[in-house]
A and B are shown apart, each in its own frame.
Chain A
Amino acid sequence: MIRTSIAITSAGALCSLGNDVPAIATALLSGERGLGPLSHLDLPYTDQSFGEVDLTNVALTLRALTLMKDAPLSRTALLAIAAAREAVKGSRNEHDTVVISASTVGGMDLSERHWTDWRTGDRRNAALAFEHPVGAHTNFVAHAIGSRAMRTTISTACSSSANAIILGAQLLRSGRARRVLAGGADALCRFTVEGFRALSAMDSGPTRPFDDARMGVNLGEAAAYLVLERTEDALHEGRMPLALLGGWANRNDAHHQTATSPDGNGPFAAMSDALTMAGVSPEEVDHINTHGTGTANNDPTELRAMERLFRIVPDFTSTKALTGHTLAAAGALEVVIAILCMQHGAVPVGHTTAAPMKGFRSLPVNSTIRRPVRNVLSSSFGFGGNDSALFLTRPES
């Protein structure tokens, strides 16, 4: 099969680092960490760090300019619309654009607010249950940009939006789509916060990926979308790619429902197969944007897989130490960050390691490195043994 080249020609995102891509770039390059106490979601955990988008739902509604009849929208949908509109530069005429979004919580913020009412037979807000399905926000995104093409939603836990990008690339390569908006959105909500608390997988202070003292994630929220096209189409129509997607792989660890195998077999297969597809050797990778959740299980298994694949592990970072773990949005958000690294010639520091993890020879970057970044590997893993990796290349001007 001819390996059609896939181009990323536009991007939109908002997360705790900033409310659009330029703001995220500024924060990233100045070494800012977008972690702190909650100011919008009402939860009693005041001493806990989160990566919250600094906009109220009202502000998001105004920003999204939705003109939707079904207010109020879930926060996931509001975040998604804002990022999607940035990615298509405000266009409402994306008739033929396929929309592939990702989410794990969907409208859970509304469901958890009205759950007790629904349970006790109070039906006043029953219609809001229509926003609960994780696919609901994708319909709103499609309406907001005027898409009449295929749309779908992927929910593979924390690898969801990496898989949305993979499906988009596959559709383009097969000729089933000419233009794809791919990404994901997840709002912070009590459901996930209580879930990660129950798993004892949250660090109360700022998260410490790849540090021996790591205690878990800081949960975050975000939406991030990319416009994907075949490179030849983009160049033919005068759109310069931001990055090229040269390889990808979606693999399963098939080891345990929530834990990765000790040697990181699934992560290894995903990273290795993405490089093989791109036709590059491990030595050609300049930078790895890791999954790097800061949990007891993820970091050593991921680093073991990296040390198996690379003779010398390239400069690696977990930007979840800057944005929080944004769950289904993480894969697409980290592609946006990888593009910014290429554009600005920088590998950002996440958490500054105090104590290296025992038994490993590799450390994440400990201060922002200014250097040309040409090839980036971006990893996204998740519950259910899902392991995905994307290989990105800076386009030559």
Chain B
Amino acid sequence: MMYVHATASLGPGPQGALSLPTGADRRMARIQRLACERAIAAMNSANLGTVDGIHCATALGCLEDTAAFLDEISAQDGRLLAPLPFMRSTHNTMAGQIALALHCTGPNMTFSQGTGGFHAALLSAWLQVEEDPGRNVLVFAADEHIDILDAITGSLSPALTLQQGALVEAFVMGGAKRSGSIACIEEVMIMASDAGNEWSAWFGREGKDHPPVLWAADAFTGVSPVLPAERHAEQLRVDPLSGTRSAQLLELVLGRFASKEQETPVLLLERTDEQQTAILLRPC
């Protein structure tokens, strides 16, 4: 069990206790700056000064710098290249920058598996707080759009339009309920999309109280979760920037909890060609 204390836009605490150190963003790229800003906003919203671990999900990593370095390589004529885009291109740059900003020396993980990377980050955070429920962790998802994505997706899935810019969703979570906690995550599950029987068995157990299902289709392939008939289900639509999609869905549900629009548990389901995932959560 893991409690969601706050997000960048939802939470109980006073605003503005933490800020990015002056000049710290000088060498940061767009997505790193946004990740740090959103993480700090979530921390302020939770009214916490630091956390015990950082668990990140990103499907494509720091794409802008990756593309910049590939462009430099293509145009290279034997000279040495500037190292900054390479240094910033690794997937864990964002989690590393946030560790610096929060002085967090605890576990630092970065996952990448399409939309399911976020569920792995949640599980990793879960395992850390399970050892000691007094711990708090930062879980975030980040991805960014670059022009060449349009060219590639345009030829493979012409109907798909991606949001421009970078997207980051950040959550402060912990093993113990706090006065302002928004939700309690009761289960996180990841399986292969062809795990038919295992999935049905899990669904039968976890869904026995029939919480309403909220789900999203894979924007790229149109694949959607297999739902039992007669089940109350609502499709949610969010930006398809893949590594952040599940985090956007969670943020949307937390918003409903916070506004009391939803006062009972929900099951959040997604499926792609490769994986099916679930998050069972209830309002606090």
Give the B-binding residues of A (Cβ under 8 A): 1, 44, 104, 111-112, 115-116, 118-119, 121, 123, 126-127, 129, 132-135, 138-139, 142, 147-157, 163, 167, 170-171, 174, 176, 190-191, 194-195, 197-200, 250-258, 265-266, 269, 382-386
Contact = CB atoms under 8 A, between A and B. Distances in A.
B152 interface: yes
Given A153-B113, A154-B109, A385-B100, A257 B91 contact: no
Contacts of B123: 171, 176
Contacts of B97: 257, 384
B105 A134 contact: no
B96 A384 contact: yes
Interface in B40-73: 54, 59-61, 69-73
A126 B105 contact: no
Contact of B69 (A156, A170, A195): A195
B192 interface: yes
Contact of A151 (B27, B72, B109, B113): B113
A112 B78 contact: no
Contacts of A154: 109-112
With most chain B CB atoms within 10 A of its CB, the pick from A148, A151, A199, A257 is A257
A112 B191 CA distance: 31
B130 interface: yes
Given A199-B87, A257-B97, A383-B90, A194 B69 contact: yes
24 contacts: A115-B71, A116-B74, A118-B148, A119-B71, A135-B112, A148-B194, A150-B190, A150-B191, A151-B113, A155-B61, A176-B123, A194-B69, A194-B73, A195-B83, A199-B87, A250-B108, A250-B109, A257-B93, A269-B105, A383-B92, A384-B92, A384-B110, A385-B99, A386-B92
Given A135-B59, A156-B109, A199 B127 contact: no
Contact of B124 (A135, A148, A167, A191): A167
Contacts of B72: 194
Contact of B114 (A121, A135, A386): A135
A252 B192 contact: no
B195 interface: yes
Interface string B78-91: 10111100111111
Given A198-B80, A383-B92, A385-B99, A152 B191 contact: no
Contacts of B161: none
Interface residues of B, number: 64
B113 A135 contact: yes
B261 interface: no
B18 to A, nearest CB: 15
Contacts of B111: 152-155
A150 B194 CA distance: 11
A99 B71 CA distance: 33
Contacts of A123: 151-152, 155
B165 interface: no
B106 A251 contact: yes
B91 A155 contact: yes
B103 interface: yes
Given A176-B123, A190-B73, A385-B96, 7 more contacts: A115-B71, A133-B114, A138-B113, A153-B117, A251-B106, A252-B107, A383-B92
A256 B114 CA distance: 28
A194 B112 contact: no
A113 B188 CA distance: 38
The 9 closest A-B pairs by CB, nearest first: A384-B96, A195-B86, A155-B91, A152-B120, A198-B83, A123-B155, A148-B195, A135-B113, A384-B92
